[in-house]
Amino acid sequence: MEAFREHQGSVAALPYVNVDTDQIIPKQFLKRVERTGFGQFLFFNWRFLDDNRENPDFPLNQPHMKGASILISDHNFGCGSSREHAAWALKDYGFQVVIAPSFGDIFYNNSFKNGLLPLRMPETLVQSWLEKGQSHSFQLHVNLQEQTVTDESGAIHTFEIDPYWKNMLVYGLDEIGVTLQYEDYIRAYEKAE
Amino acid sequence: MGKTIIEKIWDRHMVYQEEGKPDLMYIDLHLVHEVTSPQAFEGLRLAGRNVRRPDLTYATMDHNVPTKDRESITDIIAKKQMDVLVDNCKDFGVELAGLDSPNNGIVHIIGPELGLTQPGKTIVCGDSHTSTHGAFGALAFGIGTSEVEHVLAAQSLWQNRPQTMEVRIDGRLSPGVSAKDIILALIAKYGVNFGSGHVVEYRGEAIRGLTMEERMTICNMSIEGGARAGLISPDQVTFDYLEGRPNVEQGEAYQEQVEAWKELATDADATFDSTLVLDASDVKPMITWGTNPGQGVAIDGEVPSPEDGKTGAEQRGIQQSLDYMALTPGTKMTDISIEHVFLGSCTNARISDLREAAKYLKGKKVAPGVRALVVPGSMQVKRQAEDEGLAEVFIDAGFDWRAAGCSMCLGMNPDQVPEGERCASTSNRNFEGRQGKGARTHLMSPIMAAAAAVHGRFVDVREVEAQEHA
Ligand code: SF4
């Protein structure tokens, strides 16, 4: 697992509800057998027009959102299909953090495993960032160790995170390697069955 | 105090528990398919790891597979993904129901068919509709590829104890109304998020009255309500279904097994963290109009307007969907016409689904201008339908009769809905572009889809049946 401690970056605002993983990475790109190279296909059907030009109406194509590394979206982000390709695509495109009021459960788990930090933050705060992000570029500073997000005014917002996943991310641990240290317990369970 | 089936299964699978950590849970069955596994096997290889329990792992290919000319696959990238699965299964000693296997089919259809799915098991698969297996009283949930790798290597997973939710379906279904309508009505009523963070147990009179195949349809769509998993306490219906299947005990040993399974059901005095209720007798045939499975109405209803949304987010969601679906508020659902019909998917492509649709279609014809496709959920279902003469009914009606696979449920293979066209579909997701870029999907039951095929528009099967039998 890739380590994550702190991150400062600019925001891309995607003010849609229920963004499902079919939208994040459409099915035509799931046939690859690698983990890499999915960023170019991120939000493909929204990002590009039929002739493969960029869709000028899609939020992420707005000049002030280019180069953003923090994605903010609305409720139930990443719902639907379990495809981890969604987390790979976001990460490969350059996102380090995704902020939303709520997430699809499987996507939420998948993100951690790829060093992409999913943050649940209060709806009113997210709404205000989504609105601001429509027309302005702005920065946020995320500190995982402290569990805080600091905005440009210096206001500090805290977030909750499972201590287990926090630890995994902060130290960039190999989860399977960690689990295999419990081999004795796994074997004991299998024996008892 | 008594325990729910969820707690019973959870506690029995605890490998290791420590304050401040998720629980390390043992996994009894790991189902694998071609799309979400290649990177996991590659990860094992890079780390020099093995599959810990190939005997608890079972693979199939379903998402990519063409449903005709399966022998000559033209999509080379899809072909490669299937070949990679064949190689991985060979290298790591995992049993595979490949394209040439009589057991091949959609992962969530073949697990129960083969008796791999059993009460009390923990079951995972790199696929969100793994909840289907919960119909047997198993704790079954979808996982991502990193977790697939984790289970391959360690046969266990770190999981936070879920919240428990009771979804009680009282009453009885009216004629023309099916299990699909129950789950669509539930999600329409409570939203695509109602089960978030929860494992749901479906209970109540209506659920007890359902067959195993109908129960699978309900559990299948738990993820569409945001739940981590959905299950049903096993009963005689469950035990009868499994008896005699491969991979279950036979004879007397089976009866002993059944006695043990009976202990799993939720105790009478158990409590849940939350409860939702739905009366099955109020449920009408349902149909979705929008781009998430919660955007559904009864067939006698109308396309809603953004003002009907209770929250700002919901209003924005309705507008987004109306634009994509090219629908005007106030349009009667029965005035919407279609160009495609898809009868298939892990939600509704079992033999009983095909029987329902065929019963309706017998002696009728698909409307001019409608392309209709029926894709059995497994090769076993396909053979059975052919033996029972159902295939003939479909073909006579003008349906295309195909081999098993996910097919037009997600259109990873050549079966797609063209841009801007409308499809009546028995699958579980109506997301934008799900069945093809720009495709417009309406979810419904098999009999409603069959009726739509014949009429070229959505119709209320209750009225049609009443007229035709008058
Ligand atoms: S039929 Fe559809 S929902 Fe079911 S496993 Fe296949 S793609 Fe997924």
Residues A88-105 as b or e (16 or more Cβ within 10 Å = b): bbbbbbbbbbbbbbbbbb
Chain segment B168-201, per-residue pLDDT in tens:
999 999 999 999 999 999 999 999 999 999 999 9
Question: pLDDT at residue B470 above 70?
Answer: no
- What pLDDT is stored for residue B467 in this prediction? 67
Mean per-residue pLDDT for B280-304?
97
Task: Tell me the HSE value of B415 on the side-chain side, using a 13 A CA sphere.
Answer: 33
**Residue B137 Cα distances to B4, B5, B164, B265, B433, angstroms:** 11, 8, 14, 8, 33
- What pLDDT is stored for residue A149 in this prediction? 98
What are the chain B neighbours of A22 within 8 Å (beta carbons)? 410, 429, 431-434
- What pLDDT is stored for residue B317 in this prediction? 87
Q: Quote the CA–CA distance of B348 and B228 in Å, as a whole number.
A: 21
Which residues have C-beta atoms less than 6 Å from ligand 1? B 62-63, 106, 108, 127, 129, 345-346, 406, 409-410, 427-428
Residues A27 and A45: beta-carbon distance below 8 Å = no
What are the chain A neighbours of B75 within 8 Å (beta carbons)? 31
User: For a substitution probing ligand 1, which of B37, B106, B413, B430 has the most ligand atoms within 8 Å of its CB?
Assistant: B106
Closest CB to B429: pick one of A35, A80, A113: A80
Closest CB to A176: pick one of B20, B149, B196: B149
Closest CB to A33: pick one of B38, B146, B196: B38
Cβ of A82 within 8 Å of Cβ of B411? The answer is no
- What pLDDT is stored for residue B466 in this prediction? 66
Nearest CA in chain B to A78: B226
B17 touches chain A (CB under 8 A): no
A182 touches chain B (CB under 8 A): yes
User: For a substitution probing ligand 1, which of B127, B219, B374 has the most ligand atoms within 8 Å of its CB?
Assistant: B127
Q: What is the dihedral sign for C-alpha A95, A96, A101, A105?
A: positive
Chain segment B2-27, per-residue pLDDT in tens:
999 999 999 999 999 999 899 999 99
- Compute the mean pLDDT over every residue in chain A, rounded to the nearest whole number: 95
Question: pLDDT at residue B101 above 60?
Answer: yes
Strand locations in chain A, DSSP E? 6-14, 70-73, 97-100, 117-120, 139-143, 148-150, 156-158
Determine the angle formed by the axes of helices B145-154 and A105-112, rounding to 10 degrees.
70
A81 touches chain B (CB under 8 A): yes
Closest-CA distance of chain B to residue A12, Å: 18
Residues A26 and A47: beta-carbon distance below 8 Å = no
Of all protein residues, the one whose alpha carbon is nearest to atom 2 of ligand 1 is B409
Question: What ipTM does the predicted assembly reach?
Answer: 0.92
Atom of ligand 1 nearest to the CA of B429: 3
Chain segment A65-121, per-residue pLDDT in tens:
999 999 999 999 999 999 999 999 999 999 999 999 999 999 999 999 999 999 999
- What pLDDT is stored for residue A156 in this prediction? 98
More confident residue, B356 or B75: B356
Closest-CA distance of chain B to residue A68, Å: 24
Using DSSP, state whether A188 is helix, strand or coil.
Answer: helix
Q: Which residues of B are annotated as a binding site for [4Fe-4S] cluster?
A: 346, 406, 409
Mean per-residue pLDDT for B214-226?
97
Question: pLDDT at residue B72 above 70?
Answer: yes
Closest-CA distance of chain A to residue B197, Å: 7
B64 touches chain A (CB under 8 A): yes
Question: pLDDT at residue B390 above 60?
Answer: yes
A150 touches chain B (CB under 8 A): no
Closest-CA distance of chain B to residue A147, Å: 17
Chain segment A135-188, per-residue pLDDT in tens:
999 999 999 999 999 999 999 999 999 999 999 999 989 899 999 999 999 999
pTM comes to 0.95
- What pLDDT is stored for residue B73 in this prediction? 85
Domain(s) labelled CATH 3.30.499.10 in chain B stretch across 5-275, 289-468
Q: Which residues of B are annotated as a binding site?
A: 346, 406, 409
- What pLDDT is stored for residue B70 in this prediction? 85
Q: Tell me, in angstroms, the distance from the centre of ligand 1 to residue B32's CA.
A: 13
Closest CB to A20: pick one of B153, B160, B431: B431
What's chain A's length in residues? 193
User: Which of A2, A16, A31, A109 to mutate against chain B (most B CBs within 10 Å)?
Assistant: A31
- Compute the mean pLDDT over every residue in chain B, rounded to the nearest whole number: 96
Cβ of B42 within 8 Å of Cβ of A33? The answer is yes
Restricting to A residues 37-76, those with a Cβ less than 8 Å away from any Cβ of B are 45, 74-76
Restricting to A residues 93-112, those with a Cβ less than 8 Å away from any Cβ of B are 102, 104-107, 109-110
- What pLDDT is stored for residue B253 in this prediction? 97
A28 touches chain B (CB under 8 A): yes
- The encoded tokens of residue B415 equal 């079966």
- End-to-end, the C-alpha distance of chain A in Å comes to 32
Q: Which CATH superfamily is domain A6-192 in?
A: Aconitase, domain 4 (3.20.19.10)
Chain segment B19-56, per-residue pLDDT in tens:
989 999 999 999 999 999 999 999 999 999 999 999 99
The most confident of A24-38, B334-348, B401-415, by mean pLDDT: B334-348
Cite the DSSP H helix spans in B122-269. 145-154, 179-190, 205-208, 212-220, 236-242, 251-262
Task: Give me the percent of chain B exceeding a pLDDT of 70.
Answer: 99
Atom of ligand 1 nearest to the CA of B33: 5
Q: What does the domain layout of chain A look like in residue ranges?
A: 6-192
Cβ of B158 within 8 Å of Cβ of A175? The answer is yes
A186 touches chain B (CB under 8 A): yes
What are the chain A neighbours of B38 within 8 Å (beta carbons)? 33
Find the range with the poorest average confidence among B45-59, B275-289, B303-317, B329-343: B303-317
Q: Which residues lie across from B274 on neighbouring strands? A: B165
Q: Quote the CA–CA distance of B40 and B148 in Å, as a whole number.
A: 6
Cite the DSSP H helix spans in B21-175. 38-47, 76-92, 107-113, 145-154
Q: How confident is the model at residue B419 (pLDDT cuts 50, 70, 90)?
A: very high
Residues B251 and B232: beta-carbon distance below 8 Å = no
Angle CA B155–B156–B158, to nearest 5: 160
Please tell us whether the domain made up of B289-468 is placed in CATH 3.90.700.10. no
Question: pLDDT at residue A130 above 70?
Answer: yes
Question: pLDDT at residue B315 above 70?
Answer: yes
Using DSSP, state whether B95 is helix, strand or coil.
Answer: strand
User: Which of B196, B288, B316, B347 to mutate against chain A (most A CBs within 10 Å)?
Assistant: B196
- What pLDDT is stored for residue B20 in this prediction? 86
CATH of domain B5-275: 3.30.499.10
Q: What is the dihedral sign for C-alpha B441, A20, B104, B112?
A: negative
Q: Tell me, in angstroms, the distance from the centre of ligand 1 to residue B224's CA.
A: 12
Cβ of A33 within 8 Å of Cβ of B314? The answer is no
